[in-house]
Structure 1
Amino acid sequence: MAAAIPTSSVALHGNARHRCSTLTPISGCRLYRIKCSGENSTSNSPTKQESAPENALLKIAWYGSELLGIAASFLRPPSPVEAPDNYLNLATDGSGAVNRVAVVETIKQDFDRSYFVTGQLTLDAYEENCEFADPAGSFKGLRRFKRNCTNFGSLIDKSNMKLTKWEDFEDKGVGHWRFSCIMSFPWRPILSATGYTEYYFDAQSGKVCRHVEHWNVPKMALLKQILRPTRGFWLWKKDG
């Protein structure tokens, strides 16, 4: 009977880790026995574990900002001239569906009006029960979205929003944008990001039934921007 001394090695391939044990003969016998076992790498586990509290914190911040916007809407003085709803009856075809080209054109015009912070969007381009989603969460309701945009704008001193690219697909359009603003909080934080919004069109009405925002920055980075004072703020505060 040949005696053998086991040796082992660990190899990493992609996301999997393989451990091989080789029995090396010491009695001159040319018999090798290799036993390999593999297990998935858990290197991504901490990220998944950390994402849960991060998502919870982001949701709290999102709903908190919505409530803050509602409170600010009651505190701000009434405007002498309220901006009317941008309600435009879009042309429909024989089946009753609005023209896709017309919907896309109104979306581009809404970008020119910085609808994200003014709430001035073409209502007839959207389903009344349209779903609005972003990295923090989602909800349904065109009026709620318009209200949130208007209230968010009341928390901003200066802003700039620009549509940089538009893409057309069979069931949706994608608008790429660049956004920056100075918020009216006492520490004057600057929020700056790029991203894109997917506009899904309802097959029957032709209107937007889903409005999904994507930000090209990590979710927590957006929150940190809001919490970070403007450069020189503390020096200005001290001198004041």
Structure 2
Amino acid sequence: MATICISTVLNFRLRKPRGFCCSLSSHDKMKNNNKRETPELLKIAVSGITELLRIFSSSKDQRLDTVTYTQKDQPLVSGIEDIVDILQSDYENAYFLTGNFTSSIYAEDCSFEDPTIKFRGKDLYARNLKLLVPFFDCPSLSLQQIQKVVSSDKSCVLATWKLRTYLKLPWRPLISIEGNTVYDLDDDFKIARHAESWNVSALEAVGQIFTPGT
């Protein structure tokens, strides 16, 4: 169970996007820290373990087969500024750590990707977040900056954040990550692609998990 939890945490919290629509200087440091490609074997292992966790959890709790979102008023979205405001509110609710996010601003087939896995579907993303919540201990998520980026053919939102959480493992490891999330928008101002980067490599992140917390 501990191994499954570890792989899932890495999979959905620590992401490195490929091919940003936004070319911003704030990405440079993150990119330099992630030059090394994640080993293919690690990608396969994380993908398989994540699926096993989903199947195992679904067998224990059939409610995971039907995703239910926190009921919120459907926000009125007329432009990228509205998306920025809604995302900022979701960060204030620590949506990475609580699973409480505004699902209506995501396209049904939104792409989610990181160094180890890539998949589509906001329902699947919501289920994965729900799986993670019980494994966090004293978590915190702080939004450092959020901004819109508009070009002639694409629009996106860039958020910079810090994540800190212990894991509910016997040695109580501490995960401390600084990262960026890029939200690519389609013509209807729906999030079509959600991609994250972080300031450590996947292997360095694994090393945090095996380091006893203080």
TM-score scaled to structure 1, two decimals?
0.63
Please say if residues 69 and 155 of structure 1, whose CA atoms lie closer than 8 Å, have aligned partners that are also in contact: no
The aligned amino acid for 1:183 is L
Q: How much does 1:90 deviate?
A: 2.6
The aligned amino acid for 1:169 is V
Q: How much does 1:227 deviate?
A: 2.7
Q: Deviations over 1:162-186 (max 9, x none)?
A: 1101121111010000001111122
SS of residue in 2 equivalent to 1:154 = helix
> In structure 2, what is the Cα distance between the partners aligned to 1:73 and 1:187?
27
Match of 1:150 in 2: 130
Match of 1:44 in 2: none
Match of 2:213 in 1: 230
The aligned amino acid for 1:119 is G
Q: How much does 1:136 deviate?
A: 1.6
Match of 1:160 in 2: 140
Q: How much does 1:123 deviate?
A: 0.9
Higher helix share: 2
Where in structure 2 are there 5+ consecutive unaligned residues?
1-34
> In structure 2, what is the Cα distance between the partners aligned to 1:119 and 1:70?
19
CA RMSD of aligned residues (A): 2.5
Match of 1:85 in 2: 70
Alignment partner of 1:56 out of 15, 18, 41: 41
When residues 164 and 63 of structure 1 are mapped into structure 2, their CA distance, relative to the original with a 3 A threshold, is: farther
Match of 1:120 in 2: 100
Structure with more relative contact order (C-alpha pairs < 8 Å, separation 6 or more) = 2
The aligned amino acid for 2:173 is P
Q: How much does 1:120 deviate?
A: 0.7
Match of 2:185 in 1: 201
Kindly tell me the number of residue pairs found equivalent between the two proteins. 171
> In structure 2, what is the Cα distance between the partners aligned to 1:189 and 1:70?
25
SS of residue in 1 equivalent to 2:104 = helix
Match of 2:168 in 1: 184
> In structure 2, what is the Cα distance between the partners aligned to 1:166 and 1:202?
18
Map residues 57-76 of structure 1 onto 2, 5 A cutoff.
57-65=42-50, 67-68=52-53, 71-72=56-57
Map residues 5-16 of structure 1 onto 2, 5 A cutoff.
none
Higher strand share: 1
When residues 124 and 57 of structure 1 are mapped into structure 2, their CA distance, relative to the original with a 3 A threshold, is: same
Match of 1:129 in 2: 109
SS of residue in 2 equivalent to 1:164 = strand
When residues 63 and 215 of structure 1 are mapped into structure 2, their CA distance, relative to the original with a 3 A threshold, is: farther
When residues 74 and 109 of structure 1 are mapped into structure 2, their CA distance, relative to the original with a 3 A threshold, is: farther
